[in-house]
Structure 1
Amino acid sequence: MNAAEQKFLKELDDKLWSAADKLRANLDAANYKHVVLGLIFLKYVSDAFEERQRQLRALFQFDREDNIYYLPRDDFDSDADYQEALEEELEVLDYYREANVFWVPKAARWRTLKEKAVLPVGSVLWQDEQGNDVKLRSVSWLIDNALEEIEKSNAKLKGILNRISQYQLENDKLLGLINTFSDTSFTRPVQDGEELNLHSKDILGHVYEYFLGQFALAEGKQGGQYYTPKSIVTLITEMLEPYSGRVFDPAMGSGGFFVSSDRFIEEHAKEQHYDPAEQRKHISVYGQESNPTTWRLAAMNMAIRGIDFNFGKKNADSFLDDQHPDLRADFVMANPPFNMKDWWSESLADDARWQYGTPPKGNANFAWLQHMLHHLAPTGSMALLLANGSMSSNTSGEGDIRRRLVEEDLVECMVALPGQLFTNTQIPACIWFLTKDKANGVVFDEKKRDRRGELLFIDARNCGYMKDRVLRDFDSEDIARIADTFHAWQRGEGYEDVPGFCKAASLDEIEKHDFVLTPGRYVGAPEQEDDGEPFAEKMARLTGQLREQFAESDRLEAEIKRNLGGLGYEL
């Protein structure tokens, strides 16, 4: 992002958080997040809906007969009749669904909330379908009614949106939030008079991530625990290429991998001149999450993007309460918590998922890996982020599990990542890529080569750039270089080992390294540029330079001693 975009997001974060933080005096941090996130959701879906309405209004009044949205003014007796017909046409649901815009009923639109929230309690708001007066009970009731109307119109969100009346907030507190949020826009971002190239859904995703981190800090938890750097999500998606099939994330957080997959599908559809909406029909999304807030956010994230999803009946622990026991996914992607200690239960002792060895009770890394393998289809591929220790540790049987995975020829590629990628941990990380079918896998309609007995190592520790003083990131060129290397190796088209960066190793080579999978052991050192000077001559020249520098050092030391002696000091 450029400076203007960064400034816009920073000011938006500060403004929304400042308004939300005023609720702290009235509510516990664990509760007020539901109020704030619910209102942000309502504001976003209303903004997106109204943006589509503005587009439609312009299209309907665009006086050309070949315009499919054309509503001829001449067909009506008066301007009043025409405007009435226009407003009625703007309420046709299909116009919004065709543009993948979330449908928002009138009672749930932000304009309704803002207009009705200022009315005295007991005021008549509208009439229901039976013709009865609906009266304002409180601002929290008005918001809950909006959330209920959203759920009625979007069945996938039933039971997802938290009602806020239970928190018994005063009307003026909620009215203050509504007024502050009203001054923001998710659809027409402008900074210092400059219209920004920020997509509304990405702004919402950024706000969600920021708020989740802030809420975690307010609750005394570690901030930033919920999400993966966008560039790493993009890298994994670009490498796996989930064009079609079942996509699964058993530690999904707020759904970042699914959002990235959707973007990937959209970009690929444009390149191939396909209809993105049609291409989305070939993808089914499955997820699981234990945290109730992020489980709900993930569902909201999918709904506003028009992505069909199945996140189970509830938030639940992936190990103890698997919400998709029979799922065999074509693509599995996850960033589970690193080195998770408190995960074991005796009920897991003889679990069918531990096909390659029982994971240690004090570290869930290989539990996550085997859980994902268990849910992988016979021709499926998967990727997961793990701490670097997973590549070499022999603690509590981890080395034996890793050896079994290699011997069974399940590991396809290992990518070592640079440090300082994550906001919440300095633990170095790597990406494991595994597949159950190295013989004849398929990328969309393109055949991969037979890769049995071979494993690709990529050392990306020197890739990326420092985005600020503490955080490193990948740019599009880094992502393309790594993904293109992986695909060239998979397809046997133009791949070559690059010292210091990538190496295709045989299983025999890996066995010689005791099944340690650290890329640095295999890729070697980068080639040094040949300057044309013979080694013997260069060594003689450098030795001569060093001799001269030592002599100069001795001379300077003697000079300093002489000067100190003249001042009455001795060394």
Structure 2
Amino acid sequence: MAKESKSIEEILWDSANKLRGTVESSEYKHVVLGLIFLKFSNDKFEERRKELVEEGKHKYLEMKEFYNMKNIFFLPEESRWSYIIENSKQDDIPLRIDTALHTIEKNNPALTGALPDNYFSRLNLSISKLSALLDTINNINTIKDKEQDIVGRVYEYFLRKFAIAEGKGKGEFYTPKTIVNLIAEMIEPYKGIIYDPACGSGGMFVQSIKFIENHHGNKKEISIYGQEQTATTYKLAKMNLAIRGISANLGDIPEDTFGRDQHPDLKADYIMANPPFNQKDWRASNELIDDPRWRGYDVPPASNANYAWILNMVSKLSENGVAGFILANGALSGGGEEYKIRRKLIENDLVEAIVIIPRNTFYTTDISVTLWILNKNKKSREFEVNGGIKRYRNRENEILFMDLRKWGSELEKQFIELTSEDIAKVAQNYHNWQQLDGKTNYQNVPEYCYSARFEELQKNNFSLVPSKYIEFVDRDSSIDFDKEMKRIQKEFKVLLNEEKQSQDQLISAFKTLGYEL
């Protein structure tokens, strides 16, 4: 049987992995993704350069305006891939790459703050391994297949692999694509402003644009705003969006959303977010007490930022805005200020759906997490899709609970991911519940979903824990425990006998060789 050939992503990953050992994965992801960006930018630049030659515009070949007008980055001579490859075996190649990236950023204002800064020179990279990686990337034509989005595929693959490699407590720059897809399919960001207050590497924005493309919407009708605190992750996001030609306002600098909100007056139609879970010490006890984002609610506790993130998003929603975001399960039932805020959110009829996500879905944590959907206008919602009007007449004073803990399929033997079929079923169930065009096919299903009325929420002290509302079948009540224990006893006896036989055989083998155990 012929061995299956490796994908471009796998070949690149194998080559990049050779850099490990002397360089931490948290560092070398910027090396690898920087090089992929450089090659992709060069391929687009050369394609445009060829167009200008064919149009007889030779005198404009070195004028950046004739590249920028087509959303293509202008590359000075020392930033072109051919120059990098010509010098790839030289000892100073790290410096040349740093210079190339710096020069591209300087000549293209849209890339300000986006590219790795002096990474190659300071990491003491093996020249032979770096050269081998350059050769591998050199063999990839990043724009050959317009439909396949090769560089986008590579970027997505690498971000996921790096998040897995960095493991728990790290890799917070990445939200699994299937979770982002689930949020997009539920809140349907067709038109308007999209905001992510903790945007990581920009995955929410990328999948939002893909959602629009898949549903034949118009990308020009979407505006993107975000913010990211970590400087290296901020660069990842800007690169990730730049290679896909996605314009976004991520703030002038990487900055803490609470300490320095760079979009204070923003009103978003859609919010998609995966903020840090259970973030401690996000503010000093006497800071941000009078912040306008909490107006009408209690001040979120300084010990945990979960409800600060929620209120930040509530403050950013337009009058018909919808938010979908991930939080740790603890936010569903906390006491103190969290209880007061949660109660007020429910009384204000902002909470629309609570969805428990399968465990081990995230690469950075194994705690249970929840998808929240907030809706500023649960009375009605409509928007144009493919020339027609899509309408939802939502349920007021009700919350839909869904439990997906048993859903999903295995990924790389240690993670769970929701399949495209899972996502479609969950989104359809949610939209059925919303009473599409005044009609509904929704019904409560034990161990899956339940629509809770305000009175039930009040009775449960405004807890948002789904198991308090979804019916669960007591399968233990029908079990004959005596019969079951006898079955287990019988199986255990067989296992013990097999182990005894193995021990006897091992002792006998040693005796044959003249040794006693």
- Same fold, judged at TM 0.5 (above): yes
* Matches for 1:111-122 after TM superposition, within 5 Å: 111-116=82-87
Q: What are the within-5 Å matches in structure 2 for residues 342-357 of structure 1?
A: 342-345=281-284, 346-355=286-295, 356-357=297-298
What does residue 16 of structure 1 align with? 16
| Partner Cα distance (1:98, 1:377) in 2 | 33
| Aligned equivalent of 1:481 | 425
Q: Tell me: CA distance 1:549–1:521, structure 2 relative to 1, closer, same or farther (3 Å).
A: closer
Distance in 2 between the 1:152 and 1:19 partners?
A: 28
Mapped partners of 2:245, 2:143: distance in 1:
22
Give, in whole Å, the separation in 1 of the partners of 2:409 and 2:354.
21
Distance 1:99 1:186, change over 3 A: farther
Aligned to 1:79: none
Change (3 A) 1:186 1:371: farther
1:252 is the counterpart of 2:199: yes
Q: Name 2:515's counterpart in structure 1.
A: none
Q: Which amino acid aligns with 1:377?
A: S
Indicate conservation of the 8 Å contact 1:114/1:179, yes or no: no
Question: What is the correspondence of 1:431-446 to structure 2 with a 5 Å cutoff?
Answer: 431-444=371-384, 445-446=389-390
Aligned equivalent of 1:497: 444
**SS class of match (1:425):** coil
Q: 1:239 to 1:173 in 2, by over 3 A?
A: same
Partners of 1:495 and 1:95 lie apart in 2 by 54
The residue type paired with residue 239 of structure 2 is M
CA distance in 2, matches of 1:173, 1:477: 45
Q: Equivalents in 1 of 2:195, 2:470: separation in Å?
A: 31
Partner of 2:504: none
**CA pair 158-550 structure 1, distance change in 2 beyond 3 A:** closer
Aligned-pair distance for 1:506? 1.2
Counterpart for residue 40 of structure 1: 36
CA distance in 1, matches of 2:90, 2:415: 48
Higher Cα Rg, which structure: 1
Aligned to 2:81: 110
Question: Residue type of the partner of 2:267?
Answer: R
Alignment of 1:37-436 (within 5 A): 37-47=33-43, 104=75, 107-116=78-87, 139-140=93-94, 142-152=96-106, 154-164=108-118, 167=121, 173=126, 177-184=130-137, 185=139, 187=141, 199-211=150-162, 222-269=169-216, 279-345=218-284, 346-355=286-295, 356-394=297-335, 396-436=336-376
CA contact (8 A) 1:247 1:285 kept: yes
Worse-matched range after superposition: 362-371 or 98-107: 98-107
Where structure 1 has 5 or more consecutive residues not aligned to the other structure, the ranges are 61-68, 70-81, 121-137, 191-195, 529-534, 558-571
In the alignment, does 2:457 pair up with 1:457?
A: no
How far off is 1:304 after superposition?
1.2
Which SS does the other structure have where 1:347 is aligned? coil
Query: Structure 1, residues 295-349: CA drift from partner, whole Å, max 9, x if none?
Result: 0110111111111110101001111111111111111111111111121222212
Separation in structure 2 between the aligned mates of residue 102 and residue 475 of structure 1, nearest angstrom: 36
Partner of 2:497: none
Separation in 1, partners of 2:110, 2:71: 15
Once the 2 structures are TM-superposed, how far is the Cα of residue 114 of structure 1 from its aligned partner? 0.9
Residues 239-278 of structure 1 deviation map (CA, whole Å, 9 limit, x = unaligned): 1111111111011110010010011111111xxxx6xxxx
Q: Which runs of 5+ in 2 are unaligned?
A: 494-517
Change (3 A) 1:141 1:401: same
- State the alpha-carbon separation in 1 of the partners of residues 62 and 301 from structure 2: 57
Identity across the alignment (%): 38
CA contact (8 A) 1:213 1:223 kept: no
Give the aligned partner of residue 505 of structure 2.
none
Q: What is the number of residues matched between the two proteins?
A: 477
CA offset at residue 144 of structure 1? Answer: 4.0
Cα distance, 1:351–1:12 mapped onto 2, change above 3 Å? same
Name the counterpart of 1:135.
Answer: none
Per-residue CA deviation, residues 116-159 of structure 1 (Å, 9 max, x unaligned), is 45689xxxxxxxxxxxxxxxxx5455334432443355321124
Structure 2: which amino acid aligns with 1:229? P
CA distance in 2 between partners of 1:363 and 1:281 (Å): 38
Q: Is the 8 A contact 2:60 2:66 kept in 1?
A: no
Alpha-carbon distance in 2 for matches of 1:198, 1:303: 13
1:508 paired residue among 455, 459, 467: 455
CA displacement 1:83-129 (0-9 Å, x = unmatched) = 89699999999998899776655543312211245689xxxxxxxxx
* Native 8 Å contact 1:48 1:101 kept in 2: yes
Instruction: State whether residues 102 and 306 of structure 1, in contact with CA within 8 Å, keep that contact through their aligned partners in structure 2.
Output: no
RMSD value, Cα: 4.1
Cα distance between partner residues in 1 of 2:20 and 2:40: 16
Q: Following TM superposition, by how much is the alpha carbon of 1:10 offset from its aligned partner in structure 2, in angstroms?
A: 4.4
Amino acid at match of 2:39: K
- Maintained 8 Å contact 1:43/1:181: no
Residues of 2 paired with 1:46 and 1:212: CA distance? 27
- Normalised to the residue count of structure 2, the TM-score between the two structures is 0.79
Deviation at 1:465, TM superposition (A): 1.6
Q: In the superposition, relative to structure 1, how do residues 415 and 175 fare at CA in structure 2: closer, same or farther (>3 Å)?
A: same
Deviations 1:14-43 (A, max 9, x none): 321313654x4xxx9887665554333213
Aligned equivalents of 1:112 and 1:507: distance in 2? 66
The code of the aligned residue for 2:399 comes to L
**Equivalent residue letter for 2:108:** N
Deviating more after overlay: 314-323 vs 201-210: 201-210
* Alpha-carbon distance between aligned partners in 2 of 1:438 and 1:326, rounded to the nearest angstrom: 23
Please give the alpha-carbon distance, in whole angstroms, between the structure 1 residues aligned to 2:111 and 2:67: 18
Distance in 2, Cα, partners of 1:148 & 1:423: 32
Range that drifts further, 312-321 or 351-360: 351-360
Change (3 A) 1:484 1:376: same
Q: TM-score, normalised by structure 1?
A: 0.72
Deviates more, 1:492-501 or 1:333-342: 492-501
